[in-house]
Structure 1
Amino acid sequence: MTVGLFIPCYVDQFYPNAGIATLQLLEKLGVDVVYPKKQTCCGQPMANSGFSHLTGGCDELFTEIFADFEYVVVPSGSCALHIKDHLHSKKQPGESKALRAKVYELVEFLTDVLKVENLEANFPYKVGLHQSCHGLRGLHLSQMTELVAPPFSKPGKLLSMVSGLELVELDRQDECCGFGGTFCVAEEAVSAKMGKDRVADHIKHGAEYITGADLSCLMHMEGILRRQKSNVKVVHIAEILNGI
């Protein structure tokens, strides 16, 4: 199959290795990947700040360059969910509506579309998995702990295929890290305290790395870890699954 690869702007600017790992991982799994060079921001930061009326250009461009792909893969839960829920086009309304259903976050694409059952990857470290809010409650990548329902974790399933990796158990496995996009700017003190609590849970259980499907959350926690001069590192799940 041929997929269009959408790399969110913060991944492109701050964590390009995660984008490269996504591309390499998909190609290893036999996927023909195309990266449209005209792509820009999906518009989520403006929409989250109450300025969704300013995202029209982002929506039109996204529809224009990705409408013809069978699937669009995004290594970011929050960006994927934003596109799934809010993409619209005045010029191509039918195409944008159809496109919303073809957008997949990387983890759900690997588990739900490719149905990956084994991976040739090695990562001999203790790893804490951060369940980002958009991935957990919007994309349903894992079961929410407050529900009386059978537990599941799509990222956990993929990480279990990695040789040498030990997934640590957290006290509060689906707690928010406090990033919340522009929330971390508008409510800086609350955001920082939530991030410190989230990091502390991983450190308490001996995690050497913190991973997840949202680099925005990982970026927030990485800043806290650096300020604490911690040796714990953050890494996007694509880098682990690709074998770094």
Structure 2
Amino acid sequence: MPTTVDIFIPCFVDQLYPATAMHMVKVLERVGVKVNYNPDQTCCGQPAYNAGYQDQSRSVAEKFLTDFAAPASNETRYIVSPSASCVGMVRNSYTDLFAGTAQQGACRAVQGRIYELTEFLVNVLGITAIPGARLAGKYTYHDSCSGLRECHIRAEPRQLLDGVAGLERIEMAETTTCCGFGGTFAVKFEAISVAMAQQKVEHALDTGAEYIVSTDVSCLMHLESYIKKEKLPLKCLHVADVLASGW
């Protein structure tokens, strides 16, 4: 029997990068996973939480717990998302939101079942290469703050990307440094945010890579905005976009 997963598509992906969501589905089905999508799903509550609106964030998070409640059967139903940022929110910040509440048990149950795409493929399914994945060129990898620090993801996306035929990895300097997005940080501290994006892009250019790849489209959106404004020879791709290439 194939593994069944519920997919969570974050706001950024749903509204701005829907192709990335479809690519994630394509990759999961390629490795024999049965995909379920609940159309009632909305947001994980992270924007409100980061802005300091805990009550509003908790209200959204409560809906998330309901939308992704485990099925009545004994089947292990994983939740998979193409966003380390949202996964980090659920795994970490939900603990604070639901501490001492009636939903604490439901929260823990969901926290134990949610995974970012690459860690699910590598750590749960034991897959380190997607059959047929091919993309010619050189890439450099950006470790998002959420992926690295909240989800402790580093090796997994690199393993999968290194398994893509024709693709060569070149690590940039200060790969673990923030890109400067940070959600509302980019709005409140625009000058600092842009300067951080500039530094990250310059490090990427120094490698001679054609692509910047990451687990988070929010980071990629921020970097891509700077790249397009300056008309630089770089392209930003989510890891799912790369893994779905060539087949």
**What is the TM-score with the length of structure 2 in the denominator?**
0.91
Q: Does 1:73 align with 2:84?
A: no
Aligned partner of 1:75: which letter?
A: P
Q: Find the partner of 2:21 among 13, 19, 22.
A: 19
* Alpha-carbon shift at residue 91 of structure 1 (Å): 5.7
Show structure 1 runs of 4+ deviating over 6 A: none
CA contact (8 A) 1:8 1:42 kept: yes
Q: 2:128 and 2:216 mapped to 1: Cα distance?
A: 22
1:15-54 aligned within 5 A: 15-54=17-56
- Structure-2 residue corresponding to 1:191: 193
Overall identity of the aligned pairs, in %: 41
Distance 1:33 1:66 in 2: 13
* Residue in 1 that maps onto 2:74: none
Aligned partners of 1:67 and 1:96 also within 8 Å: no
Question: How many Å apart are 1:136 and its aligned residue?
Answer: 0.7
1:67-117 CA distance string (max 9 Å, x none): 115110010011110011133565643222211111101111111101103
47, 50, 66: which one aligns with 1:64 = 66
Unaligned runs of 5+ in 2: 72-76
Tell me the C-alpha RMSD between the 2 structures: 1.4
- Offset of residue 231 of structure 1: 2.7
Partner of 1:140: 152
The unaligned stretches of length 5 or more in structure 1 are: 143-152
**Matching residue within 82, 97, 102 for 2:89:** 82
Question: Contact (CA 8 Å) 2:129, 2:159: kept in 1 or not?
Answer: no
Question: How far apart, CA to CA, are the structure 2 residues paired with 1:184 and 1:134?
Answer: 16
String of CA shifts for 1:127-177, please: whole Å, max 9, x gaps.
1110001111111112xxxxxxxxxx2111111110000111212221111
Which residue number corresponds to residue 184 of structure 2?
A: 182
Aligned residue-pair number: 234
The reply on whether 1:104 has 2:111 as its aligned counterpart is no
